[in-house]
Chain A
């Protein structure tokens, strides 16, 4: 169970949060099909750390972005 750093509330237990997936750079709504395809579907899984979104569901309801190491699960700032 991760201890996730909410920017508002500080470190809280994972069960308070909801995962929001990779921190993608949302294309503009009217961007092309292939832009959206690349951003929404294609993943770079070659790195050890990723940027991702979490949602503090049972807390302040804030959506935020963090960087996490997928092997150690450590959050990096």
Chain B
């Protein structure tokens, strides 16, 4: 059933009794062409584009939990494409273009809100780096500006750009099309579209292993039995490492806890997404009114999805530097996710050493924004066996070859990324 104001009106007369299930429960078949492990945004997007762009629907998306229950449902929903390195920028900028028309394509309001992303510089040197990044983006066709501190103040009421701040604001990079997207809606919208097209979505069913012959996967094992297939995509974020190790692949990444938190909901007070860079804190306001914030990772390995409160204090101190008024608000909820961070801080997407096993992981704390572009490109790879140009730099073997994509220049120390 198509979603629209009209159908909403129609259904309101029948007490909303006829809306269908967005991802109908299915009994898994014994064999699929393609199995996607992980019903996060990325896995579901891949399924959607397999169906839409390549008419492949003999697909199973399987998840140990519920759709979007991984990092997709835990992230701070910022989308932007302001990356220095071409590989990073290109993929995220393609995603940004896709976000713009995705609600209509999926017929699900993802609430893409291009309210502008503002990255603060705290020294002239830093501003020069931002200018370099902005220039690279412009050359790549993106819309981006550099703001003076006064322009920052004009655009963001309540922000402290005074000289007496500990780390004064010297200016900012401003990406007008950057903003936020409702994270849950992304998972649900892709799931509904894929499911409607005939893709099977199986929730609450962990993948426990793979059946393989030679260097070839023949199927997966799950808590509900074995399922055969021609190709497997592991798109399971932090669980990808463990899954890959079942076929003897050691992935070059660490699993680090990263946190986020929200204030109590208040009436609109902040209209942009703002990022503080002397130490890290970023902040935006959800449509429900909560101020949502995040910062640096906890800096050590963890699977507990439970972080150190000191990093929240740290983030808050920085957020309060930006917006001194927020100390009158209250912390309503804080939560964590496990960020899968590779040795150069960038994702691992593409083929694996096993012939028909594909990988999409290592997105850490930054992969939500890339969701549609990764789904699009991954679907192309799975369907055509041709590696799309956008994905080429993200190959697993880059750590061995040295073709790193280290936007932050930090090196093989994921806990510092």
Chain A interface residues toward B at CB < 8 A: 1-2, 14-15, 19, 21-22, 34, 37-38, 40-46, 48, 50, 52, 70-73
Contact = CB atoms under 8 A, between A and B. Distances in A.
B308 A19 contact: no
B303 A37 contact: no
Given A45-B250, A71-B303, 4 more contacts: A21-B254, A43-B253, A70-B255, A71-B304
Interface string B297-311: 001111110101110
A37 B400 contact: yes
B133 to A, nearest CB: 27
A73 B254 contact: no
Contact of A50 (B242, B245, B301, B414): B301
B310 A14 contact: yes
Contact of A44 (B245, B300, B306): B245
A75 to B, nearest CB: 12
A52 B412 contact: no
B413 interface: yes
8 contacts: A34-B400, A37-B400, A43-B241, A43-B253, A45-B242, A45-B254, A45-B255, A70-B303
Interface in B185-240: none
A9 to B, nearest CB: 18
A15 B309 CA distance: 10
Interface residues of B, number: 27
B254 A43 contact: yes
Nearest to A4: B300
Question: Residue among B299, B300, B308, B412 with the most chain A CB within 10 A?
Answer: B300
B310 A15 contact: yes
Given A19-B300, A37-B399, A71-B303, A43 B251 contact: yes
Contact of B412 (A2, A41, A72): A41
B265 interface: no
A45 B241 contact: yes
Contacts of B250: 38, 42-45
B17 to A, nearest CB: 43
B304 to A, nearest CB: 5
B252 interface: yes
B262 interface: no
A77 to B, nearest CB: 18
Contacts of B253: 43, 45
A70 B399 contact: no
B259 to A, nearest CB: 12
Q: Which among B245, B303, B304, B413 has the greatest number of chain A C-beta atoms within 10 A?
A: B303
B343 interface: yes
A45 B251 contact: yes
B302 A73 contact: yes
B304 A52 contact: no
A61 B298 CA distance: 20
Nearest to B413: A21
B90 to A, nearest CB: 24
A1 B301 contact: no
Nearest to A1: B308
A14 B307 CA distance: 12
Contact of B304 (A19, A43, A73): A73
Contacts of A43: 241, 250-254
B415 interface: yes
B310 A52 contact: no
A52 B300 contact: yes
A21 B303 contact: no
Nearest to B243: A46
Contact of A21 (B399, B400, B415): B415
A70 B343 CA distance: 19
Contacts of A42: 250-252
Top 4 A-B pairs, shortest CB-CB distance = A45-B241, A42-B250, A41-B252, A46-B245
